[in-house]
Amino acid sequence: MEHIEAKAGGWNPSGTEHFTGSVWNRRINDQPDGVTLIAVQFAPGARSDWHSHPGGQLLYVVAGSGLVRTEEGETVRISPGDVVHAPPGERHWHGAVSDAPMMHLSITSGGAAVWEAKVDDEEYGAAE
């Protein structure tokens, strides 16, 4: 058994390369050929860039309120306890609504995300 106390692992800034706004992450489990589990916190209005995952992505919302949008224009508002599945290769973005933070667990497999274009303020506003 492995036990990692909460105080042992801190939150890291996600940076601006693939995110807009303040976003922090904490890697919980990272297996290059297996499942990767990351906790991600978004400040109000913060969001990821457009991206996809070779093995798909499962999001489990822990706190706050957020948005997930697909390339086809489908948008869902997410809240604690919600689960969102993006199948392999589905282009999407996700983040917090403009007036509340959001935290989710991201569960992926199949390798690193394929990052694409930024989600600009107009595109974000249209989803909200």
Tell me which residue of 43, 60, 46, 73 sits closest to 107, measured CA to CA: 60
The tens digit of pLDDT for each residue in 25-41 reads 998 876 666 789 999 99
Are 25 and 15 in contact by the 8 Å Cβ rule? The answer is no
What span, in angstroms and rounded, lies between the C-alpha atoms of 52 and 31? 18
pLDDT tens, position by position, 44-79 = 999 999 999 999 999 999 999 999 999 999 999 999
The pLDDT confidence band at residue 108, using thresholds 50, 70 and 90, is very high
Confidence of residue 23 (pLDDT cuts 50, 70, 90): very high
- The pTM score is 0.92
47: region left, alpha or beta (phi > 0 left; psi from -120 to 50 alpha): beta
Mean pLDDT of the 94-109 span: 97
31-62 in b/e form (b: 16+ CB < 10 A) is eeeeebbbbbbbbbbbbbbbbbbeebbbbbbe
Compute φ and ψ for 125, nearest 5 degrees.
-60, -35
Of 80, 83, 76, nearest in space to 65 by CA = 80
Any alpha helices (H) in 41-103, and if so which ranges?
Answer: none
Indicate the fold that domain 20-115 takes in CATH. Answer: Jelly Rolls (2.60.120)
